[in-house]
Amino acid sequence: MRCIDGENELILTCETQAEGVCILRCETRDPVVLLPDEIDGAPVTALGRYVLSGRAPDLSGRDTFSVRVTCGGPLPVHEADSIRAVTLPKHISIRSTMTGPWKSAPKPPSTVGDWAASRFPARWKD
């Protein structure tokens, strides 16, 4: 498993795409999550629909790789209910990919519950 320094203890399941890296799954018990902007020099450009959910996405048949983000702590065990805030990678723009009533909203929804419930556009793949 690749290992990179970060601000959290995370286990990421990723997929390489033409635009960069898609984080399909993020496992952590940290209440505040800072997702990396880049992995192995490639920008993080997409997030899986259930990236922070307690529900693991179906990844069968996909070419994925794992990355451990660490600040020196123990290997995390996923506790989706403990997550309270998330900082998205800088290469991801929620507003530019939104459809429907959210697109014109003054502030798009960005709660952890929205991520866990897959309430974001289909651009984020699982």
pLDDT in tens, 42-98: 999 999 888 999 988 889 999 999 999 999 999 999 999 999 999 999 998 654 444
If DSSP states are collapsed to H, E and C, what string results for 14-46?
A: EEECCCCEEEEEEECCCCEEECCCEECCEEEEE
Residue 1, Cα to own-chain centre: how many angstroms? Answer: 17
How far apart, in whole angstroms, are the C-alpha atoms of residue 69 and residue 76? 10
Please state the pTM of the whole predicted model.
0.75
Could you tell me the two tokens for 90? 């800088």
In the chain, the percentage of residues whose pLDDT exceeds 70 is 73
Listed residue (97, 15, 95) closest to 57, CA to CA: 15
Residue 117 has pLDDT above 90, yes or no: no
In tens, the pLDDT along 3-51 reads 999 999 999 999 999 999 999 999 999 999 999 999 999 999 999 888 9
